[in-house]
């Protein structure tokens, strides 16, 4: 029995509700969505990718389906059980600013940065063949300047969006502008 084998994800979906944002902005769920953008998969197949038992991620699938970010696209009867295949509703997701602030969103944002960097470290080849740039900058800035600086960073990202091509090498730009009371050297640039 099949549901929607012909389902095609949208090219881009903008997450704008607080419920969808809360469902999406979790490192495990973001990884699940990422896998499901490429192809339909079962919970067991995703669990195998994560090297965990399917029971450890079932609740994440429920959250994503409830939020409407993934959908059941196929059921396959394989004897005593039915395999359920899920697919992300889009190939790319954008999260817009929320009118109502999500509780703990600052900590969530920083933990997403940490998790993303940790994932990237684990994927490095280890032979320094992949260039990496790391910039650490510290300054005491006023809230008004924070807003201006944030806007310039967003404008820079918009300016370079056309560089995203099918034949390009996948890179991630992780930016974090956050308060930290630990003094570090400023202006250090590390290039590998």
At residue 188, the pLDDT reads 45
Beta bridge partners of 108: none
Domain boundary among 96, 123, 150: 123
Bridge-based pairing state of the strands 188-191 and 10-15:
unpaired
Q: Are residues 27 and 86 in the same domain?
A: yes
Please give the Cα distance from 41 to 28 (Å, whole number).
15
What is the domain-level CATH number for residue 4? 1.10.10.10
**Residues sharing a CB contact under 8 Å with residue 137, sequence separation 6 or more, in sequence order:** 186, 187
Same domain, 138 and 66: no
Q: What is the structure's pLDDT at 190?
A: 45
User: 3-state class of 45 per DSSP?
Assistant: helix
Asked if residues 90 and 76 have their Cβ atoms less than 8 Å apart, the reply is: no
Task: Write the CA distances from 172 to 5, 48, 69, 186, integer angstroms.
Answer: 32, 25, 22, 23
Q: How far apart are CA 23 and CA 79, in angstroms?
A: 33
* pLDDT computed for residue 183 by the predictor: 62
H or E stretch covering 73: strand 70-77
Answer yes or no: do 103 and 54 share one domain: yes
- For the record, the structure tokens of 63 come out as 């959250």
Domain end among 123, 147, 176: 123
Class of residue 108 by CB neighbours under 10 A (exposed 0-12, middle 13-18, buried 19+)? middle
| pTM of model > 0.85 | no
Which pLDDT belongs to residue 43?
Answer: 96
Do both 13 and 107 map to the same domain? yes
On whether both 23 and 9 belong to a single domain, the answer is: yes
Q: Which range of residues forms the domain containing residue 90?
A: 1-123
What pLDDT sits at residue 52? Answer: 92
Cβ neighbours for 89, distance < 8 A, ≥ 6 positions apart: 9, 10, 13, 68, 69, 70, 71
pLDDT of the chain along its 192 residues, tens only?
A: 446 668 899 988 888 888 888 888 887 898 899 889 889 999 999 999 888 999 999 999 999 999 999 999 999 988 888 999 999 999 888 777 555 555 666 776 777 777 677 667 766 777 777 777 777 777 788 888 888 888 888 898 888 877 777 787 777 777 777 777 766 555 544 444
């Amino acid at each position: 029995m099949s549901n929607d084998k012909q389902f095609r994800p949208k090219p881009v979906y903008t997450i704008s509700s607080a419920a969808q944002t809360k469902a999406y902005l979790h490192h495990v769920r973001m990884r699940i969505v990422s896998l499901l953008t490429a192809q339909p998969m079962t919970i067991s197949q995703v669990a195998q990718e994560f090297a965990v038992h399917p029971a450890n991620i079932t609740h994440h699938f429920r959250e994503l389906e409830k939020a409407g970010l993934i959908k059941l696209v196929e059921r396959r009867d394989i004897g005593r059980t039915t395999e359920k295949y899920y697919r992300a509703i889009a190939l790319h997701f954008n999260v817009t600013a929320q009118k109502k602030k999500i509780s703990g969103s600052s900590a969530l944002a920083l933990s997403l940065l940490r998790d993303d960097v940790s994932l990237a470290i684990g994927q490095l080849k280890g032979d320094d063949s992949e260039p990496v740039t790391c910039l650490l900058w510290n300054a005491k800035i006023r809230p008004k300047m924070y807003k201006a600086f944030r806007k310039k960073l967003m404008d820079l990202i918009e300016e370079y969006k056309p560089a995203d091509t099918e034949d390009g090498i996948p890179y991630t730009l992780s930016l974090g502008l956050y308060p930290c009371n630990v003094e570090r050297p400023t202006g250090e640039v590390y290039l590998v």
